[in-house]
Chain A
Amino acid sequence: MLHCDTYLTPASLDEAFDAMAAHQGRCRIVAGATDLLPWAREGRAGDVSIPVLIDITRIPEMNERRIDDKRVRLGAATPIQRFLDGPSLGRALPGMPRCAVWFADDQIRESATVGGNIVNASPAGDCIPPLIAHEAEVELAAKRDGKIVRRRMKLDQFVRGPSRTAIEEGELLTAFECDALAGYGGSFEKVGHRRSLVISVACIAALVKLDDSGRGFEDVRLAIAGVGPVPQRLSDVEEFLRAAPISQERLEQAAEMPVARVQSRTRQAYRREVLRGFVMRGLINALRRAGAGPEILAPELEASYV
């Protein structure tokens, strides 16, 4: 079980940094707590004593939301469930709702935060692939000489390895910003042992926009997780797909390309098969949601992969 002597709930960033400084080396940041509490159990970390827990979810800045035509800014403590509240956030970030619906379950999504999922940097962190596809940047803040200073970094550079990020001692992940991609079709494909409450064995996020002819990709973005130490953007596949009009043959060729990226410790052959199928299914679902018609998505093609 988790044991702590003090549980602090700072009301501002300032207070949070002061608490972190006062308890340096004996505190831990907590947001949704949905990873922390299961971690401190037998079979994982066992009984854990952390003298001070600092809960950052009541800091207003951590919950902010700003959407304009170009960018979306969300506080790090935004619960995953917010992408499923209604259509507006999902229209600006079409990569997120399908990811959210596969994330844990309705109840845990109300507590679990996007920021927590990012800083945990799990190789199977579900939020990371769609955010990478949205060109997400993270904002990191720290208090130096009494002043709050901030820096920004691309998400795919922030995540360095399993449970490793570029965050430094005394820093907090406060927010992230993404490309607003209204009009794109988004998809998220995931497989685990069951539907709810399951860690991805493999997952993929796809975002596509059709060109004016409706027969080619104006933009296509793909990212995968669960198949190696860090989530990855599939830039080579994207480039290949943009180079010619959409056809079943092109999609199938593209689906072969990332297979060699599978570096998991277990079940590599299975994951390669899944990844190939997921590129197809992810692209087909995203294309359909982007408005692709039967001239591109023949019913037989959909039937084979979706």
Chain B
Amino acid sequence: MSELRIEATINGRKVKRTAQPHQRLLDFLRDDLHLTGAKEGCGAGECGTCSVFVDGVLKKSCLVPVGKAQGTNIETVESLAMGNDLSVLQQAFHKAGASQCGYCIPGMVMAATAAMRANPFAGREEIKERLGGNICRCTGYQKIIDAVELARDVQNGRLPISALAELDQEDGKFIGANIRRLDAPSKVSGALKYAADMTMPNMLHLQVLRSPHPHARIVSIDTSQAEAMDGVEGVITCADVPGEDGFGVFVHDQPIMARDKVRYVGEAVAAVASEDPVIARRALEKIKVVYEPLPALFDIDAAMAKDAPVLHDYAPDNVTKHIPIRVGDIEQGFAESDLVIEETYSTQAIEHAYLEPEAGLAYVDPDGVVTVISPSQNITHHRHMLSKIIAQPINKVRFIMSPVGGGFGGKEDMIYQGMLALMAMKTRRPVRLVFTREESIASTAKRHPSRTVLKMGLMSDGRIRALQLNMICDGGAYGLSSEGVMRKAAILGAGPYNIPHLRVDTLALYTNNTPSGAFRSFGALQTQFATETTLDMAAERLGLDPFEIRRVNAMRNGATTHTKQKLKSVSLLRVLEAAAKGSNWEAGIPTSRGDTRTDMGGEGLRPACTLGARFETIEATEPQSEVA
């Protein structure tokens, strides 16, 4: 190993340091210099959370070997705002409400800074193009692009500096007013510390050994070689759990680390702590696990088959949860209908892909309180579960919620916090775990893949008489939020429509796929996709406008839902009106228009997949002005 000597100017200061030759510039900045404004979202150049300037050129520091930093001038997001003064761009991000979770924002601010340096007059399309390497999952990009345009206009004198200030607002009026976020300055400056940015003295790094099998019996786990390695401070398995092992949002069916069996590829089996994450990683290879592969279930049909392998002893039919709703007489409803449509719909697993991969830091405080800091979306429940798992009274367990770099439901599950707590208890040292993007995708919950058979009966004027909906979901290896997701899918699946005869069944099954869990809309997306699509087909078949068929069936103020909830106010008609207006909707039967429709093209729409907005600027540049 020959250490590298790095001499560079970083944010205006000379830095002389040794670095490990395998480090990336991102590691050097974050781990060695504690400049944590640059984040690691993917480690593969896909997301742009790690962007920094190297000799004035913006680069993704996760793709820059630290050896390339020798002799360079590096600017990180920390250099943009010195002291309390945010740059014009940072102020514009604050003003425009361009930061939500904030994890992508330092990179976005850097990319926007680079775009404005490259072309201070760039138009909206060129700005989008130049920010193309940065991903955001919360804002939908519009506010970010708005912010860059605002900053551009202020910098060019087209707007006064006061355009960056907060709007005057009526006293006490918040609803309907554009209120700036209190936490935005900490996000646009890169100052906010997410869990992976936090360190403590004497801290260890955790690495996790994961199952390569979808379903296997664990015959034995031998950690002796790993424990004997120099630099390894602790190894844990399920044997280290002192209390009642099991977590889950509804049913506590998942152990902290696999116990007796593994049930999906990526399930945690053991974990190692070391001061050097590379040593911890190498120690994982020394853990000997003997598996006896078992037949595995990969889809819902296999899970329902007669004599299917049973994944959890408490659920011999592999059913995680079944939610039924019955209203009226479904057969009578179909008999009365003028039109009956039956279709099958399926949806796939979807990854949340929040920009912040899971991370956490745990320690045992001087009073013996086991403390876990993590971007958990459910800390109180986690605290109660962990108390049982580690057999400690509730006042000896503390959860601190760190800033969540995007969750969307994917951070509700206590998928790694238990391991951190166990290792902190075992080593009596602070322990940090930071997932790689790949680890995050492989081991955490997905949106439930589903298959819905939907049968709808309607009268010729478009009124729904009967709706029968049967959804079966792949819940994956553990329960997580499946029960709640099935409940919501059932309650909301038939939509905000008056339907006299209704029969809804939603069902989640255990399989050996990655567990399914909470995800924005929580099951309603899958069932409503089926219902709304069927309504569009019905509109075609009955010769009705798609908006009209929804108006005909819409619940109105005072309606009672399918599950007997009284609704004082229903906004559906207003929503429909706004959607029709916003989309420039041309009323009529969907099939009747073809090439003549007037609501395609026009304001607010752009051609798909175009690039090259900058060529106008490039062509206008005379070659003489280029720096040789």
Q: Are A107 and B48 in contact (CB under 8 A)?
A: yes
Q: Are A47 and B281 in contact (CB under 8 A)?
A: yes
A296 at the interface (CB under 8 A from B): no
B-contact bits for A35-64, CB 8 A (1 contact / 0 none): 001100111000100000101010000000
Collect the chain B residues with CB atoms within 8 Å of residue A108's CB: 45, 60, 63, 133
Q: Are B70 and A9 in contact (CB under 8 A)?
A: yes
Collect the chain B residues with CB atoms within 8 Å of residue A253's CB: none
> How many Å lie between the Cα of A66 and that of B62 in the bound state?
32
Given contacts A42-B436, A42-B439, contact A88 B623 (CB under 8 A): yes
Q: Which of A17-45 contact B (CB under 8 A)?
A: 30, 32-34, 37-38, 41-43
Q: Are A53 and B68 in contact (CB under 8 A)?
A: no
Q: How far apart are B122's CB and chain A's nearest CB, in angstroms? A: 12
Q: Which of B275-291 contact A (CB under 8 A)?
A: 278, 281
Q: Are B51 and A107 in contact (CB under 8 A)?
A: yes
Given contacts A107-B51, A191-B609, contact A30 B65 (CB under 8 A): yes
Q: Are A102 and B436 in contact (CB under 8 A)?
A: no
Collect the chain B residues with CB atoms within 8 Å of residue A41's CB: 43-44, 436, 438
Collect the chain A residues with CB atoms within 8 Å of residue B45's CB: 34, 37-38, 104, 107-108, 197
Given contacts A37-B45, A86-B625, contact A53 B65 (CB under 8 A): yes
A226 at the interface (CB under 8 A from B): no
Among A1, A37, A106, A197, which residue has its beta carbon within 8 angstroms of that of B58?
A: A106
Q: How far apart are B472's CB and chain A's nearest CB, in angstroms? A: 29
Q: Are B133 and A105 in contact (CB under 8 A)?
A: yes
Given contacts A37-B44, A104-B133, A197-B46, contact A87 B623 (CB under 8 A): yes
Given contacts A55-B67, A110-B59, contact A1 B626 (CB under 8 A): no
Q: How far apart are A19's CB and chain B's nearest CB, in angstroms? A: 12
Collect the chain B residues with CB atoms within 8 Å of residue A195's CB: 129, 132, 609-611
> How many Å lie between the Cα of A206 and that of B320 in the bound state?
57
Collect the chain A residues with CB atoms within 8 Å of residue B609's CB: 191, 195
Q: How far apart are B366's CB and chain A's nearest CB, in angstroms? A: 35
> How many Å lie between the Cα of A299 and that of B132 in the bound state?
30
Q: Are B132 and A196 in contact (CB under 8 A)?
A: yes
> How many Å lie between the Cα of A84 and that of B68 in the bound state?
23
Q: How far apart are B19's CB and chain A's nearest CB, in angstroms? A: 9
Collect the chain A residues with CB atoms within 8 Å of residue B612's CB: 98, 101
A5 at the interface (CB under 8 A from B): yes
Given contacts A5-B21, A86-B621, A88-B626, contact A37 B133 (CB under 8 A): no
Collect the chain B residues with CB atoms within 8 Å of residue A53's CB: 21, 65, 67
Collect the chain A residues with CB atoms within 8 Å of residue B62's CB: 37
Collect the chain B residues with CB atoms within 8 Å of residue A5's CB: 1-2, 21
Among A2, A86, A87, A197, which residue has its beta carbon within 8 angstroms of that of B132?
A: A197
Q: Are A107 and B133 in contact (CB under 8 A)?
A: yes
Q: Are B63 and A197 in contact (CB under 8 A)?
A: no
CB-nearest residue of chain A relative to B615? A97
Collect the chain B residues with CB atoms within 8 Å of residue A6's CB: 1-2, 21
A4 at the interface (CB under 8 A from B): yes
Among B21, B68, B622, B626, which residue has its beta carbon within 8 angstroms of that of A57?
A: B68
B-contact bits for A1-19, CB 8 A (1 contact / 0 none): 1111111010000000000
Among B22, B438, B626, which residue has its beta carbon within 8 angstroms of that of A85?
A: B626
Given contacts A101-B612, A106-B114, A197-B45, contact A111 B623 (CB under 8 A): no
A-contact bits for B98-141, CB 8 A (1 contact / 0 none): 00000000000001001000000000000001101100000000
Collect the chain A residues with CB atoms within 8 Å of residue B625's CB: 86
Q: Are A110 and B57 in contact (CB under 8 A)?
A: yes
Q: Are B21 and A4 in contact (CB under 8 A)?
A: yes
Interface centre among A34, A105, A197 (most CB of B within 10 A): A105
CB-nearest residue of chain B relative to A5? B1
A-contact bits for B587-628, CB 8 A (1 contact / 0 none): 000000000000000000000011110110011011101100
Q: Which of A69-85 contact B (CB under 8 A)?
A: 84-85
> How many Å lie between the Cα of A105 and that of B131 in the bound state?
8
> How many Å lie between the Cα of A34 and that of B64 in the bound state?
8
Given contacts A37-B45, A41-B44, contact A107 B59 (CB under 8 A): yes
CB-nearest residue of chain B relative to A285? B612
Collect the chain B residues with CB atoms within 8 Å of residue A86's CB: 618, 621, 623, 625-626
CB-nearest residue of chain A relative to B114? A106
Among B2, B43, B60, B610, which residue has its beta carbon within 8 angstroms of that of A107?
A: B60
Collect the chain B residues with CB atoms within 8 Å of residue A87's CB: 618-619, 621-623
Q: Are A42 and B21 in contact (CB under 8 A)?
A: no
Given contacts A38-B44, A87-B618, A108-B60, contact A197 B436 (CB under 8 A): no
> How many Å lie between the Cα of A138 and that of B252 in the bound state?
62
> How many Å lie between the Cα of A191 and that of B278 in the bound state?
39
Q: Are A43 and B65 in contact (CB under 8 A)?
A: no
Q: Are B70 and A33 in contact (CB under 8 A)?
A: no
Q: Are A1 and B114 in contact (CB under 8 A)?
A: no
B4 at the interface (CB under 8 A from A): yes
B562 at the interface (CB under 8 A from A): no
> How many Å lie between the Cα of A104 and that of B612 in the bound state?
13
Q: Are B22 and A3 in contact (CB under 8 A)?
A: yes
B24 at the interface (CB under 8 A from A): yes
Collect the chain B residues with CB atoms within 8 Å of residue A33's CB: 63-65, 68
Collect the chain B residues with CB atoms within 8 Å of residue A57's CB: 68
CB-nearest residue of chain B relative to A83? B618
A-contact bits for B49-74, CB 8 A (1 contact / 0 none): 00100000111101111111010000
A231 at the interface (CB under 8 A from B): no
> How many Å lie between the Cα of A139 and that of B163 in the bound state?
55
A282 at the interface (CB under 8 A from B): no
B-contact bits for A227-252, CB 8 A (1 contact / 0 none): 00000000000000000000000000
> How many Å lie between the Cα of A108 and that of B47 in the bound state?
11
Given contacts A7-B21, A30-B65, A53-B21, contact A110 B58 (CB under 8 A): yes
Q: Which 3 A-B pairs have the closest CB atoms?
A: A105-B133, A196-B132, A7-B67
A-B contact pairs, 15 of them (CB 8 A): A34-B63, A37-B45, A37-B65, A38-B43, A43-B438, A53-B21, A55-B68, A84-B618, A86-B618, A90-B618, A107-B48, A107-B111, A195-B611, A196-B132, A196-B133
List 14 additional A-B contacts (Cβ < 8 Å) besides A47-B281, A87-B623, A197-B45: A3-B22, A3-B278, A4-B21, A6-B2, A6-B21, A7-B65, A34-B63, A37-B65, A55-B68, A98-B612, A108-B60, A111-B60, A196-B133, A197-B132
